[in-house]
Amino acid sequence: MAAARAVVVDGVTKRFTLRHARSIKNMTVRALRREKLRDRFTALDEVSVTIGVGEAVALIGVNGSGKSTLLKIISGVMPPDAGTVRVRGRVAGLIEVGAGLHPDLTGRENVFLNGAILGMDRAETLRKFDSIVEFADIGRFLDQPVRFYSSGMFMRLAFSIAVHTDPDVFLIDEVLAVGDPLFRRKCIDRLREYRASGRTMVIVAHDAKLLRQLCTRGVFLEDGRVLWDGDIDTAADLLLKKRQERRRGLTAPARPPAEAGR
């Protein structure tokens, strides 16, 4: 029997409009020079990925390859221009640092608000409240508006609420880069437990070592297309190789004009 599917991304394309001029003056100058005012840019180009229940998948690629855009589309916060996405079960997304937390509300209020957004009712949130606060380790700041929190505290609270919703599919974007090493360790242990319980996660991170620890499969994106979909080690090696290539490309001495075009 085929494994149950948690996420099915089928032929997803996403385009953005890049505006070259923001001010009226700038627009006028460009228009007089007959230069384009905007361009359409394809961030994802017919991407298809199927993720089975219980898989831990890393979305990997150099900067700008489309990882975050794909995660946002899977989470439903951004619609694709073409293609479809299906996700089974309760989804929790830590898509942007502090996403889902309201800056003017206190930590306590945010636990209830964000918990509700992520699908917990009041009774479930009440039951888990102490555990959420303890894991987040925000102590005496619990009744302060979260805009006064440090970025680490912000993240700890957002992560703690999300992980306590016991999602079937957990989508995580770069959040583990924020916060102190101790909390990072705690998050990694928690994600390992979460994985061991047979649930699904999709992670975007730049840290190849971390991705090797947490994931078994890597989907490598390049210019919005899937270049590799398979074991995590090959995907992580590919990332290191592409980064090196980029660096070399940036630092390579320019060829003298006479040689150009040969």
C-beta closer to ligand ATP: residue 50 or 68: 68
C-beta closer to ligand ATP: residue 95 or 157: 95
C-beta closer to ligand ATP: residue 67 or 199: 67
**b/e per residue 72-81 (b: at least 16 CB within 10 A):** bbbbeeeebe
CA quadruple 114, 118, 123, 128: dihedral positive or negative? negative
In the complex, minimum distance from the CB of residue 178 to ligand ATP, in angstroms, rounded to a whole number: 14
In the complex, minimum distance from the CB of residue 220 to ligand ATP, in angstroms, rounded to a whole number: 11
C-beta closer to ligand ATP: residue 190 or 217: 217
63 three-state secondary structure: coil
CA gap 43, 13 in Å, rounded: 8
Q: Where on the chain is the footprint of ligand ATP (CB under 6 A)?
A: 16, 43, 61, 63-69
CA gap 225, 34 in Å, rounded: 32
In the complex, minimum distance from the CB of residue 207 to ligand ATP, in angstroms, rounded to a whole number: 12
Task: Kindly calculate the radius of gyration of the chain based on its CA atoms and give it in whole angstroms.
Answer: 21
In the complex, minimum distance from the CB of residue 61 to ligand ATP, in angstroms, rounded to a whole number: 5
In the complex, minimum distance from the CB of residue 66 to ligand ATP, in angstroms, rounded to a whole number: 4
Q: Distance of CA 80 to CAs 45, 50, 228, Å?
A: 10, 16, 21
CA gap 164, 190 in Å, rounded: 10
C-beta closer to ligand ATP: residue 93 or 115: 93
